[in-house]
Amino acid sequence: MKIGVVGAAGRMGRMLLAAIANADGAVIAGGVEASGHPDMGTDLGALAGLEPIGVVLTSDAQALFDNVDAVIDFTVPVATMAHAVLAKNSGTALVIGTTGLDAAQQNTIETAATFAPIVQAANYSVGVNVLQGLVEQAARALPDAYDIEILEMHHHHKIDAPSGTALALGEAAAMGRDVRLDDVADKVRDGIIGPRKSGDIGFATLRGGDVVGDHTVMFAGPGERIEITHKAASREIFANGAVRAALWSIVRKPGLYSMKDVLGF
Ligand code: NAD
């Protein structure tokens, strides 16, 4: 299967190239970056820290979508919008890892998914997808007296907050309580904010160093506290999951799929 990567010179892009090279049945068929990127023309094997493969980094996303079976996109929201339109026009499978999309951008993806198979996940690790299931179960089992707080920490380069994974964990908790996250999310606390509102789902964000991604969901109840934590030690877990999603997506009908669909949860 021919897999292409957009944002191929980014932190995740390079990991994705290496993961494709190591995956059975997958070949690196192309890599694209924003025009003017300093690595333009560099061999994709070298970008991934491997032997050269004779395919170089370009800025031609259209040609990539026309010539591969699936494209993996871990870039920035505005670029992901352009790639969703290319997937829509070409019918090429698209795996989206980019986080921080707003509601209008999410609509664009949903429209594109009526023409092409699209997998979208805030987190492609198996562990976080299991965690989401556990959080939903715990939220369903515990009464509202157990305050739900979600704490996340990432490296200092990360541009969106709370992380897409923290929000996905919030969605899982809200689903367990049969409420909409938008109605109960408390993302900013500063100054005299008064007592905590019962039923809210709170978020706290830490940024620093080279932390790949830590998430803790707390259920703080009367006299006891449950904490469920996931710590990512390497970006490889996301890259391997995304390549698995790409191989899975190629034979699917158009539609918007999640990592849970890919894993069969
Ligand atoms: P990064 O800044 O290292 O990489 C992003 C790359 O996209 C850069 O190389 C940039 O030049 C490139 N880019 C920007 N505009 C482009 C365009 N128009 N065409 C092609 N490439 C373009 O960031 P990163 O740490 O690799 O993270 C990328 C995204 O992936 C973020 O939104 C992050 O939150 C998300 N992420 C998701 C998961 C997951 O499992 N879903 C895991 C890690 C990171």
| Separation CA 3–CA 46 (nearest Å) | 17
174-193 per-position pLDDT tens digit: 999 999 999 999 999 999 99
Among left, alpha and beta (phi > 0; psi -120 to 50; other), residue 255 is: left
| Separation CA 204–CA 34 (nearest Å) | 32
Query: Would the CB of 1 count as within 6 Å of ligand 1?
Result: no
210-260 per-position pLDDT tens digit: 999 999 999 999 999 999 999 999 999 999 999 999 999 999 999 999 999
Q: How far is the CA of 7 from the centre of ligand 1 (A)?
A: 6
Question: Which of 2, 4, 1 minimizes the C-alpha distance to 71?
Answer: 4
Query: Would the CB of 33 count as within 6 Å of ligand 1?
Result: yes
Query: Would the CB of 239 count as within 6 Å of ligand 1?
Result: no
What the block records as the tokens of 256 is 């918007």
| Separation CA 134–CA 42 (nearest Å) | 43
On the question of pLDDT at 27 being above 90, the answer is yes
Query: Would the CB of 174 count as within 6 Å of ligand 1?
Result: no
Which residues of the chain does CATH 3.30.360.10 include?
126-232
Question: Which of 213, 121, 209 minimizes the C-alpha distance to 163?
Answer: 213
Query: Would the CB of 76 count as within 6 Å of ligand 1?
Result: yes
Confidence label for 25 from pLDDT (cuts 50, 70 and 90)? very high
Query: Would the CB of 65 count as within 6 Å of ligand 1?
Result: no
Question: Are the C-beta atoms of 4 and 58 separated by less than 8 Å?
Answer: no
| Separation CA 176–CA 220 (nearest Å) | 16
Average pLDDT, the chain: 97
On the question of pLDDT at 11 being above 90, the answer is yes
Q: How far is the CA of 52 from the centre of ligand 1 (A)?
A: 23
| Separation CA 263–CA 265 (nearest Å) | 6
Residue from 16, 75, 109, 120 whose mutation best tests the ligand 1 pocket (most atoms within 8 A of CB): 75
Catalytic residue list: 154, 158
Query: Would the CB of 162 count as within 6 Å of ligand 1?
Result: no
Across residues 153-159, what is the average pLDDT?
97
Return the pLDDT at 265. 82
Q: Which residues of 36-74 are buried (b: 16+ CB within 10 A; e: fewer)?
A: ebebeebbbbbbbebeebebbbbeebeebbeebbbbbbb
Residue from 42, 74, 106, 159 whose mutation best tests the ligand 1 pocket (most atoms within 8 A of CB): 74
Do you know the residue count of the chain? 265
CATH homologous superfamily, domain 2-120+235-263: NAD(P)-binding Rossmann-like Domain (3.40.50.720)
On the question of pLDDT at 168 being above 90, the answer is yes
The residue nearest atom 16 of ligand 1, judged by CA position, is 34
CATH homologous superfamily, domain 126-232: Dihydrodipicolinate Reductase; domain 2 (3.30.360.10)
Report the percentage of the chain scoring pLDDT > 70: 100
On the question of pLDDT at 264 being above 90, the answer is no
User: Which ligand 1 atom is at minimum distance from the Cα of 241?
Assistant: 40
Question: Which of 223, 207, 231, 250 minimizes the C-alpha distance to 68?
Answer: 250
| Separation CA 234–CA 64 (nearest Å) | 28
Which residues of the chain does CATH 3.40.50.720 include?
2-120+235-263
Return the pLDDT at 244. 96
On the question of pLDDT at 26 being above 90, the answer is yes
3-state secondary structure of 9: coil
User: Which ligand 1 atom is at minimum distance from the Cα of 212?
Assistant: 43
Max Cα distance, the chain (Å):
62
| Separation CA 251–CA 79 (nearest Å) | 25
The residue nearest atom 4 of ligand 1, judged by CA position, is 10
